[in-house]
A and B are shown apart, each in its own frame.
Chain A
Amino acid sequence: GVGETMPFFNQESLQQRLQALIDGARESWAYAIFWQSSSTSDFATPSVLGWGDGYYKGEENKNKRRASSSSANFVAEQEHRKKVLRELNSLISGVQAAGAGSVGDDAVDEEVTDTEWFFLISMTQSFANGNGLPGLAMYSSSPIWVTGTEKLAGSQCERARQAQGFGLQTIVCIPSANGVVELGSTELIFESSDLMNKVKYLFNFNI
């Protein structure tokens, strides 16, 4: 398994663990994020969870959710998202060697879905211990599993409400060594010990 063959904590190994977690799952998760804790052995210093890495898989039934695609708001929002993506794309392409994976305009001009956008803006977020779903999971040392539009919308956590606004129906945060693993889906997925065990196996490593 991945956990046995990759003993070291690095970006590549983290990405493979996130992939292994949702590519092999029966449920259709749209993404997995590892929120990395800044904490050290000094327990007096408050820890912050920041972006460690993420794997975006996408939604299975994307076409079902395109009801409002002709509204003016939708068009304006898409223009904004594509503009941001275009800028990010040129920044990334600019630092890569010529021909080494620059992304063409076709990909940028394709609709940027709500789930993709939620994943992208997640990269700008961080959570103090006890704040937001990931921070709360870390603070309580127990998994948080929120299924259903109403539960997400009614959550005290801004991130859960934001997820619901972008069409997600399930969001899960599972604490692990040095951070929190978060998964999101546009489907209704109910709590399973299978996923918890997988996270325990794949992410309980020490830096």
Chain B
Amino acid sequence: TVGCVALDKDGNLAAGTSTGGMTNKKWNRIGDSPIIGAGTYANNKTCAVSGTGHGEYFIRANVAYDISALMEYKNLSLQEAAKEVIQNKLKNMGGDGGIIAIDAKGNLVAEFNTAGMYRATVDENGTITVGIYKE
């Protein structure tokens, strides 16, 4: 799975996710990636989110929307909301994977509960940070 979230100069957020799904999938299985609210969500009031991981769990946990909802209704920061959903809610269900997200203030987050996640961030200064492993 690949994904991107962005904030533009006009203050508009967007999120996108694209995937091939799981190896050897049958029966026209689809995962969370095309499910709005599970693998992808964007709301200018809160954040934009793209997920990657075990899709069935992301669907059941409504991961992307849940992060936005925690910000909107409980006033959590993006980092707090992402950590709550990925490290507690999703993990306690037995689901693994991660998300990338950006909020309306341009805060950048990559949160995952797996050994690694291919990821990169770029800020307004053009500073690019690339990561693969947990550290």
Partners in one complex: no
Chain B residues engaging chain A, CB cutoff 8 angstroms: none
Chain A residues engaging chain B, CB cutoff 8 angstroms: none
